[in-house]
A and B are shown apart, each in its own frame.
Chain A
Amino acid sequence: MSTATLPDDLILRERFGDIKPPLAPQAAVIEANRCLNCFDAPCTGACPTHIDVPGFIKRISTGNLRGSALRILDANILGGSCAKACPVEVLCEGACVMHRYNHEPIQIARLQRYAMDSFQATGEELLTAPRGSRNVQVACIGGGPASLACAAELCRHGASATIIERQQLPGGLNTYGVAEYKLRASDSLREAEMIRRMGVEFRFGGGVDSAAALEELESEFDFIFLGVGLGAMQRMNIPGEDSKGVVNALELIASYKTGRIKELSGTVVVVGAGNTAIDAANAARRLGAETVYLLYRRGERDISAFDFEYEHAKHEGVQFLWRRQPFAIRTNERGRLLLDTVQVREIEKTLLPVPDSLFTIECDHVIPAIGQSKFAQLVQDLRRIEVRGGCIVADPSTGQTGNPRYFAGGDCVNGGREVVDAVADGKRSAQAILKIAEAAYA
């Protein structure tokens, strides 16, 4: 079975043009030649998957593009989407020694994309050890980056891996949740297809949501990897939250990426100031909303979004309302939303409303973006798996949980980080599983 694909929507493509456009071949070589080729390079150290950055860049400069791509994929099977979705400003490019030399870091992400695009254009398949050459069967629950990386690493070494995804498309947040101007859903699906051709099996549409279902998996598989991600978006818990026109950030992003929403108009208020809030606000602008406010209960310096994301939102024309908290949503007679807000002040770490600061924003959409819930129902049902603060507890170096047959990685363990962190987790778990299987065989 081939993994499903999405139609290429030209309007979407135009509205969500790449924020980091691809490098032309000569530009790539010039940029590659700027790399100093550091030994024990800090970019490689900063990358959670430890991609050999100078190694793949050197190969671009010599025209060894196949070698370059394989070098990347060797460390990070989702090297293509990471090249586009990674916040490189705080990872590889942030660590580049060029900051201390002539200030402009090497454009690692764009070079990585160049290598990956070139490789994908050849349509070449990745070499793997013969399927079943290692007698170990692993189920990966969830079809996002962590499971994809875990399953791919297992297959590369001849083990069998099956991804179980409740949605109809693989890729998890890579497909449904990354802003389209960074990573297209179609790119995410192409990557999943590459992994499928490596021999990973996919089962779509079937959730694993009971202890009984898990027991069934336990009888079929030797190990189970949990890459289930986080729970639903958190609710604001204010009256009127379920009104028509209120849609949470992840739902908005997934809807436009899969073509269910093609346009927005009027005034949109995004509540929250994380990276997802910024993605949603930018998306609202690009989908046609005239006025987009981003409402945050604290100040500019407290936002959890990366600095470059904040700057990007300002360029997109998003307006910021600081120190303001919503407390109710009403609908007026014309069907528009009325978002009641109040100014708040932080006193000894608690937010207190400022008297006489009520302010109602008349708008067409309210987009809550105040984080995903950490609690995944499934996890609670698992025996001997410790959950702390809503996250699964797993050994950082192996991903193994308290139940030795269960491994876990990605957002359900780290509480919500980046694609590259999920890939690193998945890879480490796969390596640990292979090691255990090897030891058992010996």
Chain B
Amino acid sequence: MPDIRVHGFAGRIDAPNPFWLASAPPTNCGEQIMRAFDAGWGGAVWKTIGEPVTNVCSRYSATDWNGLRMMGLNNIELISDRSVDENLRELAMVKKQYPYHAVIASLMVPSNREAWHEIVARAEDAGADGLELNFGCPHGMNERGMGSAVGQVPEYTEMITGWVKEKARTPVLVKLTPNVTDIRTIARAAKRGGADGISAINTINSITGIDLDTLVPRPNVDGKSSHGGYCGPAVKPIALNMVQQIMSDAESALPLSGMGGISTWRDAVEFMLLGCGTVQVCTAVMHFGYRMVEDMAEGLENWMRTKGFATLEDFRGLSVDRVTEWKHLNLNYKIVAHIDEQKCIGCDLCHIACWDGAHQCIHVDRAEGPVNGRVELHSTPAAIEERSRTSIAITPVTRQERAAAASNHGPYPTPLAKIPRVDETECIGCNLCALVCPVDECITMIRVDSGLPSETWEERTRGAERATQPQVS
């Protein structure tokens, strides 16, 4: 049985598993967090504690995609609207009842040393296992000089982290905003300030959409909207990129609690492969409730079992070095698309994608019957469409007609004429056809031997530089 417990994260934080609730509505109060722990969550970062705010309604809006809800979620909700006392009293109670779960206090107070010293002391006295400094919130709080107003300026990040470290006895995590040009500049500042760990990423500035009847962007607050923070499955690729940037940079790398669109154990494993010690989840819980953690834990364990990993540390960070700068990629690696005729359903999406969106090397020009020599008709999509639209089709009404219509497939599930053909000499191996193909494993990218040794752009241009360097004797 693989062991998915977390030991000594950011120095001293333990948890029964790496799945934590992110600081957000699912961690608003003690009652919620205790139910979450009962459901199987390993830790929770408390909804940011600070001077209580007044919120607006409405607060959330979403991006749906192709009939599926909440591909991305946007919010303009601020930090906790409950008093510091109330939050910390409940935190103490949770910690008492769940001593082995990780309870992290997310904090945000005005930018002065005394305020930070005070809140740090109170949170730790209440029993928090660690502190998360909210330098990421991109809406509302930043207008008051907090949240991403701090996290977008390296000097402020370093200074306030330093203040907190003067006082803190528990590990200090700095939560980073992605709304910067290079997240590493802020991560480095946090590290210089003495942070024990990093949480990334916070939400991304967004406007999810506009109501086409009222012309008011969403979410609508009495006819106006505001820049919100975007999260959910849509932001995962952005989060993964930033996580990798942080973990591959020696001046930034710290124990990392990763987040941004994590909805399944697969997502979680990807963040861990890029170096995260724990992961945080919010949108998926807001969508499906706490019980989704059951599949996350089981899925992770089952994957670890198949791959032979005993602990989380066995695979953490294994993919970090697999991301490199473009100039280190092998220019002589060649692959071409291959269509499995037994799996093709004849939708021709690869054909039109290749013609209109790539390099015009997938053709629908299978010849029937014996052919001498090469057949490359290369009909354009427009010609194929025209031919089809002017053909004469009739309803097969008799039994014979129906039987004839059903039996022209030959040995393939799809009529051969409808199965596209890859021109391998022209294929540039871009993957697009395999990406659009709706059938699993129908289009695969096959490696072909280019006959050339591995050579990167850097190696090639270095050679060129040498060749053009003036000979000095």
Closest A-B pairs by Cβ, 10 of them: A39-B352, A33-B67, A38-B347, A100-B345, A39-B348, A97-B345, A418-B395, A33-B66, A50-B389, A97-B347
Chain B residues, CB < 8 A from A262? none
- Interface check A101, CB cutoff 8 A: yes
When C-beta atoms are compared, the residue in chain B nearest to A52 turns out to be B389
Beta-carbon nearest neighbor of B351 in chain A: A39
How close is B34's CB to chain A, nearest CB, in angstroms?
Answer: 37
Across the interface, which residues of B come within 8 angstroms of A267, CB to CB? none
Is the pair A40, B364 in contact by a Cβ cutoff of 8 Å?
yes
B425 within 8 A of A: no
The reply to whether A304 and B398 contact each other, CB–CB distance below 8 Å, is yes
B439 touching A45, Cβ below 8 Å? no
Bound Cα distance from A90 to B389, whole angstroms: 18
Interface band, chain B: 20 to 34
Q: Please name all residues of chain A whose beta carbon is closer than 8 Å to the beta carbon of B67 when the two chains form the complex.
A: 29-30, 33, 61
Residue contacts A-B, CB under 8 angstroms, 25 given? A29-B67, A33-B66, A33-B67, A36-B347, A36-B438, A38-B346, A40-B348, A40-B385, A40-B418, A45-B388, A45-B391, A45-B393, A61-B67, A87-B395, A90-B405, A91-B395, A97-B346, A97-B414, A100-B346, A304-B397, A396-B392, A417-B397, A421-B394, A421-B395, A424-B393
Contact of B66 among A40, A46, A61 (CB under 8 A): A61
A289 to chain B, nearest CB (A): 27
- Whether a CB of chain A sits under 8 angstroms from the CB of B349 is yes
* Interface pair B395/A42, CB less than 8 Å apart: no
Say if the beta carbon of A47 comes within 8 Å of chain B.
Answer: yes
Contact B349 A39 (CB under 8 A): yes
A90-B402 in contact (CB<8A): yes
CB pair B393 A46 closer than 8 Å? yes
Q: Give Cα A94–Cα B392 distance, bound, in whole angstroms.
A: 17
Q: Which residues of A contact B323 (CB under 8 A)?
A: none
**CB 8 Å contact bits of A84-103 with B (1 = contact, 0 = none):** 00110011001001101100
Smallest beta-carbon distance A2→chain B, Å? 32
Is B11 on the interface with A (CB-CB < 8 A)? no
Contacts of B396 in A (CB 8 A): 90
B395 near A40 with CB under 8 A, answer: no
The contact size tier of chain A is 35 or more
A312 to B12, CA, bound (A): 70
Judge whether A100 and B414 touch: CB under 8 Å.
yes
Q: How far is the CB of A81 from chain B (nearest CB, A)?
A: 14
| Given A33-B66, A45-B388, A61-B66, residue A39 in contact with residue B395 (CB < 8 A) | no
Q: Cβ of A414 < 8 Å from any Cβ of B?
A: yes
| Residue A397 is within 8 A (CB to CB) of chain B in the complex | yes
A243 within 8 A of B: no
B417 to chain A, nearest CB (A): 10
Min distance, Cβ B64 to any Cβ of chain A, angstroms: 10
Partner of B388, one of A40, A87, A97, A424: A40
Q: Which residues from A are CB-within-8-Å of B397?
A: 304, 416-418
Closest to B401 in A: A90
20 further A-B contacts with Cβ under 8 Å, apart from A42-B346, A101-B439, A417-B395, are A33-B66, A36-B349, A38-B346, A39-B349, A39-B381, A39-B385, A40-B364, A40-B384, A48-B395, A86-B395, A90-B396, A91-B395, A97-B346, A97-B414, A98-B345, A101-B438, A304-B399, A397-B392, A418-B397, A421-B394
Complex: A367 Cα to B352 Cα, angstroms: 53
Least CB separation from A87: chain B residue = B395
The residue of chain B having its C-beta at the shortest distance from the C-beta of A94 within the complex is B405
Please provide the chain B residues from 324 to 376 with a CB less than 8 Å away from any CB of chain A in the complex.
345-349, 351-352, 364
Contacts of A38 in B (CB 8 A): 346-349
Least CB separation from B437: chain A residue: A36
Instruction: Say whether A210 faces chain B, with CB atoms less than 8 Å apart.
Output: no
In the complex, which residues of chain A have a beta carbon less than 8 angstroms from the beta carbon of B439?
Answer: 101
Does B413 interact with chain A (Cβ within 8 Å)? yes
List the A residue with the shortest CB-CB distance to B412.
A100
**A47/B393 in contact, CB under 8 A:** yes
**Which one of B349, B385, B391, B397 has the greatest number of beta carbons of chain A within 10 Å?**
B397
> Which of chain B's residues have a CB closer than 8 A to the CB of A45?
388, 391, 393
Residues of B within 8 A of A100 (CB): 345-346, 413-414
A8-39 interface mask toward B, CB cutoff 8 Å, 1 = contact, 0 = none?
00000000000000000000011001001111
**B86, chain A: closest CB distance, angstroms:** 41
- List the B side residues contacting A50 at CB < 8 Å: 388-389, 391, 393
Distance from A228 Cβ to chain B, minimum over Cβ atoms (Å): 19
CA distance A212 to B388 in the complex (A): 42
- Give Cα distance in the complex from A29 to B64, angstroms: 12
B348 neighbours in A (Cβ, 8 Å)? 38-40
Contacts of A414 in B (CB 8 A): 394
Q: Are A417 and B394 in contact (CB under 8 A)?
A: yes
A420 to B346, CA, bound (A): 24
Point out the residues of chain B lying under 8 angstroms from A61, CB to CB. Answer: 66-67
User: Chain A contacts of B413 at CB under 8 A?
Assistant: 100
How far, in Å, is B395 (CB) from chain A's closest CB? 4
Is there contact, CB below 8 Å, between A101 and B345?
yes
Is A44 interfacial (CB 8 A cutoff)?
Answer: yes
- Give the residues in chain A near B364, CB-CB below 8 Å: 40
**Cβ–Cβ < 8 Å partners of B414 in chain A:** 97, 100
- CA A421 – CA B218 in complex, angstroms? 48
The interface residues of chain B lying within 8 Å CB-to-CB of A29 are 67
A322-338 CB contact bits vs B (8 Å, 1 = yes)?
00000000000000000
A274 and chain B: residue at smallest CB distance: B397
Kindly provide the distance from the CB of B404 to the nearest chain A CB, expressed in whole angstroms. 12
In the docked arrangement, what's the CA distance between A18 and B395, Å?
A: 23
B388: chain A residues at CB < 8 Å are 40, 44-45, 50
Question: Which residue of chain A lies nearest to B344 when distances are taken between CB atoms in the complex?
Answer: A100
Complex Cα–Cα for A86 and B349 (A):
27
Query: Which residue, B352, B385, B394, B413, has most C-beta atoms of chain A within 10 A?
Result: B394
Q: Report chain A residues within 8 Å CB of B351.
A: 39
Q: Which residue from chain B places its CB closest to the CB of A301 in the assembled complex?
A: B399
CB distance from B238 to the nearest CB of A (A): 25
Are B393 and A48 in touch, CB under 8 angstroms? Answer: yes
Q: How far is the CA of A242 from the CA of B381 in the complex (A)?
A: 60
A34 to B132, CA, bound (A): 43
Q: Which residue of B lies closest to A30 (CB)?
A: B67
B407-424 near A? 1/0 per residue, CB < 8 Å: 000000110001000000
With A and B bound together, what is the CA distance between A61 and B351 in angstroms?
A: 23
Rounded to whole angstroms, the CA-CA distance of A397 and B389 in the bound complex is 12
Residues of A within 8 A of B352 (CB): 39
The digit string for B431-472, where 1 denotes a CB below 8 A from any CB of A, is 000000011000000000000000000000000000000000
Min CB–CB distance B362 → chain A (angstroms): 11
Q: How distant is the Cα of A170 from the Cα of B383 in the complex, in angstroms? A: 38
Cβ-closest chain A residue relative to B406: A94
